[in-house]
Each structure stands twice: as structure tokens, then as C-alpha cells.
A and B are shown apart, each in its own frame.
Chain A
Amino acid sequence: MIWFYYILAILLVIISLYHFIVARNYVKRLIALNILGSGVFLFFITTAKNTNTESPDPVPHALVLTGIVVAVSATAIAVSLILHLNKEEE
């Protein structure tokens, strides 16, 4: 089961990386960036499960927890920067 999640994480990272480069619409680019982050988080959490101890490793969990909060605030600032950009172009 662990290997399935590892491969899923890698696939998510790859397809979102491709779309991040290809997309010319900022909304699509932002969504691709968020999915890329989710793929990385999935890799971390799967690694946390891949230990000999009975319950999973809490250190990657803490890192992912803070990572999600940072990702949301980064998305917020990206959204308002893009809105600003659109206002300038008009």
C-alpha cells in the first residue's frame, strides 16, 4: 500500500509540474501549484507511515501541518497580486 501512495505522490507532482509550465492562465497555474504542494505533502505523510514504530512518525506530520498553513497564506497573497495585475492591465 505504501508503494501505491509513493507512486501517486510522484504522479501528482509530475502532472502538476507539467501544467504549471504549460498553463498560460493564472488561475490554472495557481491550482497546479497547490496540487504540486499536495503531492509533496503526500510524499511526506507516506514516508511518516513507512517506519518500524507502531504509530507513524510525528515529525513529518508537524512539518506538513505548518506547510499547509503556509501554502494557504501564499495562495492568498498570490490571489491578491494577480487581481492587482489585472487591474493594472485594464
Chain B
Amino acid sequence: MAFEILSIAFMFIGAIFLLAGSIGLIRLKDTYSRLHALTKADVLGFGFIVLSCILSTDLLSHWIKLLLVWLLAISYSALVGYALANRKKRYA
């Protein structure tokens, strides 16, 4: 029961961060601040959602899969942020 409440709370927090990231992506004015919203807020929100999913199952295999998905997502998010900033710097 406690785990379920915690899981729902984490899901909610994650959704709020993702929403904030998406609003920032649309509303912010220049590319670097948009990149900030795209990479940082989204990774934090995604981490909370993975945590909530981990709390909602009790199978070890699901935990390992979710952790791998999380690891992949944060690493490619870092790479995408780097790539976009690099291109912007070169062509601005």
C-alpha cells in the first residue's frame, strides 16, 4: 500500500517535470535555454517515472530492464544535447 502511494506520487512528480520541460521547449526564446529545458528537465522527469515503475513491480527482471532503459535514455540525452549545442555554435 505504502509502495503504491509512493509510486503514484513519483509518477505525478515525473509528469510535472516532463510538462515543465515541454513548456520550456516551446516558450523559451533562444536555442541554448531551450536545450536546457529539453535535456535537463526531461531526464529528471524520466528518472522519476522509472522510479515509480520500479516501485510498482516486484520482479527482478523488470527492475533490471527498467534500469537499463534509464541508463540508455540518460546517455543518449547527454549526446543529443551535446550534438545540438555543437551544431548551433558552429552555424550561428
Direct A–B contact present (CB less than 8 angstroms): no
